[in-house]
Amino acid sequence: MSSFPERARQAENPELSVRQRLLALKDCVTRFPLYGHQASWQHLISWARIPLRLEDDLDSLTRAVAELRGARELWLPLTAEFAARRRVEKAAGRRQHLKRDRWLTWRLELYCPNPALRPVDSMARVVARVVAAHQDGSVFGRDCVVCGAGRPVEQACPGCGVSILGRSAWRWR
Ligand SMILES: [Zn+2]
């Protein structure tokens, strides 16, 4: 399976056919489904203004890739730094990670069960807010860290649609 960076470059490549580029973009969403596949795709269509007839605006593919890449590149260094730190800790005999680091072992997923309701900001801004909230411990508070709306933590936010506990929490309900 080719990687996100490889598929992203293909989605941007004007030498490929429109269909090949679109499939490459869809694969990028599959590899980085921040809001879940459907909601992420709906976000990209509106954020990057992807037209029904793609030929009318091929640059929209590049805008969509940039949107995904911006969010992914905020997340990757955090997990890389955590992996490096864990190697040092394990070598020093600490087998379990600290409780406050648990979120770094999860896949980044801000699942939006209703694809029509999702954050309006850029994915990078949303990811930055969620990361900051994990770091300061406010992420599971009474107010949504993405949009500020009050909501029970176990429900999808009525303001921005994000279920902060992720898809797994959603599935077993
Ligand atoms: Zn919200």
Confidence (pLDDT) at 169:
60
Which residues are found with C-beta within 5 Å of the ion, ligand 1?
Answer: 144, 146-147, 149, 157, 159-160
Say if residue 110's pLDDT is above 50. Answer: yes
Tokens of 38: 């459907």
| The total number of structural domains that make up the chain | 1
Which of 45-62 are b and which e, b meaning 16 or more Cβ less than 10 Å from the residue's Cβ? Answer: eebbebeeeeeeeeebbb
Residue whose structure tokens are 């590899």? 31
68-82 residue pLDDT tens:
999 999 999 998 999
Say if residue 1's pLDDT is above 80. Answer: no
Q: Tell me, in angstroms, the distance from the centre of ligand 1 to residue 160's CA.
A: 4
Q: Tell me, in angstroms, the distance from the centre of ligand 1 to residue 126's CA.
A: 10
Alpha-carbon distance values, 131 to 15, 47, 74, 128, 140 (Å): 37, 22, 9, 5, 12
Q: Left if phi > 0, otherwise alpha if psi is -120 to 50, otherwise beta: which for 137?
A: left
Name the percent of the chain lying above pLDDT 70: 96
Sequence-distant (≥ 6) Cβ neighbours of residue 12 within 8 angstroms? 21, 61, 62, 65
Instruction: Provide the domain limits for residue 19.
Output: 4-171
